[in-house]
Structure 1
């Protein structure tokens, strides 16, 4: 997966996240499935951004960015800022 593919995935996920958030803030209650999907989208976005950062770091140090891998959700979500 190249950077363009990652950005396209991010764009799709952001659109979906916005639609779900708009629905939830328009005084509409999200269903259990929608809340679950929103959480999945948030995690997938974090994973995409992490993958993009990995690729850029590898490239910066002369390593093939294609060697970057999507990290497990619990690893990405466990980062401390």
Structure 2
């Protein structure tokens, strides 16, 4: 597997882990979430925004013949609240 595909696979795996953790926390909604749990959900949402953005950057670079390894994580202030 090429390095680019390996990195993309790692990124997709990370997205899956974050989604699972976020879902698990949200399913605990039957009881009131602690401030720590609410804070963690916000952190997960930001991390997911960054991961999705990075994945899109990598795929766009590859599609247009550019090096996907040049894609960089952008600050949460730039990618926060992206529409999926």
What is the TM-score normalised by the length of structure 2?
0.86
- Specify the alignment match of 1:2 in structure 2: 7
Ranges of 4+ aligned residues in structure 1 off by more than 3 Å: 78-81
Unaligned runs of 5+ in 2: 1-5
What is the TM-score normalised by the length of structure 1?
0.90
- Specify the alignment match of 1:13 in structure 2: 18
SS in 1 for 2:25: helix
1:58 maps onto 2:38 in alignment? no
Q: How does 1:2-81 map to 2 (within 5 A)?
A: 2-24=7-29, 26=30, 28-77=31-80
How far did 1:80 drift? Answer: 7.6
How far did 1:2 drift? Answer: 0.8
Unaligned runs of 5+ in 1: none
Contact 2:49 2:82 in 1 (8 A): no
In 1, Cα distance between the equivalents of 2:73 and 2:24? 25
Residue correspondences, number? 79
